[in-house]
Amino acid sequence: MSNPIKKALRNGLFRVESGWDTLVGRESNPMYCLGAMSWFFFWVVGASGLYLFIPYDTSAVRAWGSIEYISKEQWYWGGMIRGLHRYGSDAMVLTMMLHLLREWLLDRYHGARWFAWFTGVPLIWMVFSSGITGYWLVWDELAQYLAIGTAEWLDFLGIFGQSIARNFMNPGALTDRFFTLLIFIHIAVPLFLLFAMWIHILRINRANTNPPRQLVIGSGLMLVLLSLIHPAQSHPPADLGKTTALLNPDWYYMALYPLYDTKGPLIAWAVAIGVTVFLSLMPWMVFGRKRRAAAEVSPPDCNGCGVCTFDCPFGAVVMRPREDQSGHEKIAVVQPDLCTSCGMCMASCNRTNPFLPGGENRKTGIDIPDFTFDLMIKRISARTHGLVGNNRVLVLGCEHGAKLDHLRGSSVGVLELHCTGMLPPSLIDYVLNKDLADGVLVTACRPGECFYRLGPEWTELRLAGERVPKLRGAVSRDRVKLSWAASTETKWLMGDLAEFRVALAELPKPERPTTTKRRVAE
Amino acid sequence: MIKPQHIAGQALAYTAFAVMIAYFASSPAYHHHSPDNALVRLSLTHAGQRLGDCKERSPEELAALPPNMRSKQSCGRERNSVTLEMDIDGVTVFSQTAKPAGLSGDGRSRFYDSREVPAGRHLIRARMRDGNNPAVFDYDELIEVELAPRQVFVVDFDEENKKLSFE
């Protein structure tokens, strides 16, 4: 992280998220699934919109009345559905913009992730277009303001044969056909939006589009209650013979309009296009950051099991037919453009096992060139060499999480990994079995805060024996500890380490086979 | 399953979320136009006169053309730019010359302007040139109006009666 402002903001974000975890519980913290929350609100808006389409009258004269009828006469149902439609769309904008901000703060927008970022930018335009056309349909004074403002703004481009703003010259200029067109646009744009949202997550393996059930229930209830307590209201009906004066805009959608009013269409277009172009090009504006070499498959060591394809967070590893004499039907193939070099594939490979015979240069089926499995074992040997005491600990963690160097001591060795997800569980077994340390502390970023995606989740499941490769059942769980710690939680992690060491000191000395020898390779 | 210690926190968080959504969904209020003012909106599209005169085709020329294209006159497509000016109470507030739309310059010229004026009595004059004589405005209309607060007063061109219109 090069930018100190960004670093400070990111640390602030981690503190907020940590505080929120304490307040509401980790599973109910929407910050870890802002994209999925946007999906959820999209479905809420879509479902409520389908209902609202039934009583809506696509007529310039009766549109306002039809909305007003269901809002006032059916406040308990139609009005509530209208509230869900409006507040759901507002919540979608809020979570979408927070999602954008958070991905930027966590540096998750460049490299192999350019595609998701780049395809996410048009979604903003589509969401705003959907919302603005929806507000037109109400045909109240706010709609009049938006319709004229948007039409003038578009007319400035001079690419339309007829002036759009002339449709709103006087009450007689507006036809029912225009409202039919409008509702068509208001339905068509969200359908395109859905398609674009699918493209947005296309290159993400196991994309999370469903928030946890607690959040779905809680947010849904919140929207229902809000719709009943504070129902969505219309302004007085539009009158093209009168100016719009005092308005209550929905600022989630209309923040750019006052800029147009005060600065004119040129500035408004310059800001809109400038921000869009800037956001779109951001993945390529990351300077001075060297991209790590992509994972490499070693064909003689790959048995085509396919586990690496399940674990890769970006679908960078695929299985292809194999035609050599190995006897295996398939082989893993890395798509370098999609690879973030996180190493999760290496950890998932069943050849990534230090107990397998390998000589001085251990090979595995899929490896990370700048941090090979062999190098990892050698570094572990080096970092544990010379540790003293009966509560020696090896700390293994992610370079994006807590500052592990601060934990180093005479009884504590540390090894930073690209991601904790690149740690094969058999390595923990190896450390304890070879008496390199008395305990292993595995630390990872909190789930949802992983720089790469899924590293903490895979680590937790592997250590719990719920996902292959599993930590062997015979490994004493008293000697293995998993701690979540963000980059701002180094002090907290130090406390956790101290507690772990106290607990280790109280454990009886394990009995090891006499043939077990300490292996120092580096 | 929600842990008991998180129930209060969640209630607080959802309330804060709801308040934030509800507040910015309609607040703070925005003053677009002053309720004491009226709005004069000039919205006009008009095709200028053709640049050249039409020429009668000779029988030979007509015979050389495909049957479906044998019109007696040959007219150039290009049109004049249109100049439009508007005065309010003797002060010129709008003056613009717009080129005809289209790649061949044969479309309509487009004007759009809207400006607030205090409600009350005003003298509004609009004049437009669409011909070849730069010294002459082909259309010139003057009107004295009493504008009510929030009234939208539109200046347009009535193509049917060929005159600038006020409504």
The b/e string for B20-58 (b: 16+ C-beta within 10 A; e otherwise) is ebbebbbeeebebbbeebbbbbbbbbbbbebbeeeeebe
Q: How far apart are CA A183 and CA B117, in angstroms?
A: 35
What residues of chain B lie within 8 A of the CB of A241, using their CB? Answer: 151-152
Q: How many helices (DSSP H) and strands (DSSP E) are in chain A? A: 17, 9
- ipTM over 0.90? The verdict is no
User: If you count residue pairs, one on A and one on B, with CB atoms under 8 Å apart, how many are there?
Assistant: 121
What residues of chain A lie within 8 A of the CB of B150, using their CB? Answer: 242-243, 245
Across chain A, mean pLDDT equals 93
Q: Is residue B151 part of a domain?
A: yes
Q: Is residue B96 part of a domain?
A: yes
How much is the pLDDT for A56? 94
The answer to whether the beta carbons of residues A437 and A428 sit under 8 Å apart is no
Place of tokens 């219109």: B165
Q: How many domains does chain B have?
A: 1
A494 min Cα distance to partner chain B (Å): 26
How much is the pLDDT for A37? 97
Number of neighbouring beta carbons within 10 Å of residue B16: 10
Tokens of A120: 């996410």
Q: Please, which pLDDT band fits residue A519 given cuts at 50, 70 and 90?
A: very low
Record: contact B24-A250, CB cut-off 8 A: yes
What residues of chain B lie within 8 A of the CB of A240, using their CB? Answer: 152
pLDDT tens for residues A159-203?
A: 887 888 988 888 888 888 889 999 999 999 999 999 999 999 999
Q: Is residue B148 part of a domain?
A: yes
Record: contact B152-A170, CB cut-off 8 A: yes
Number of neighbouring beta carbons within 10 Å of residue A422: 28
Q: Where residue B111 sits, what CATH number does that domain have?
A: 2.60.40
How large is the average pLDDT for residues B2-8? 84
pLDDT tens for residues A296-337?
A: 999 999 999 999 999 999 999 999 999 888 899 999 999 999
pLDDT tens for residues A192-238?
A: 999 999 999 999 988 999 999 999 999 999 999 999 999 999 999 99
Record: contact B21-A145, CB cut-off 8 A: no
What residues of chain B lie within 8 A of the CB of A233, using their CB? Answer: 26
Chain B CB within 8 Å of residue A237 CB: no
Chain B CB within 8 Å of residue A169 CB: yes
**Sequential DSSP letters for A24-41:** H-GGG-GGGGHHHHHHHH
Q: Please, which pLDDT band fits residue A522 given cuts at 50, 70 and 90?
A: very low
Place of tokens 């394990």: A510
Q: What is the percentage of chain A residues whose pLDDT exceeds 90?
A: 83
Residue A520 has pLDDT above 60, yes or no: no
How much is the pLDDT for B19? 97
How much is the pLDDT for A514? 61
For chain A positions 282-341, those within 8 Å of chain B (CB to CB) are: none
Domains, chain A, in order of start with CATH, read 34-284 (1.20.810.10), 296-505 (no CATH)
Record: contact B151-A219, CB cut-off 8 A: no
Residue A32 has pLDDT above 60, yes or no: yes
Q: Please, which pLDDT band fits residue A509 given cuts at 50, 70 and 90?
A: confident
Chain A CB within 8 Å of residue B20 CB: yes
Q: Is residue B65 part of a domain?
A: no
* Structural domain span for residue B88: 37-50+80-166
Q: How far apart are CA A226 and CA A232, in angstroms?
A: 9
pLDDT tens for residues A418-437?
A: 999 999 999 999 999 999 99
How large is the average pLDDT for residues A144-153? 95
Is the model more confident about B94 or about B107?
B94
Q: Is residue B101 part of a domain?
A: yes
Q: Is residue B4 part of a domain?
A: no
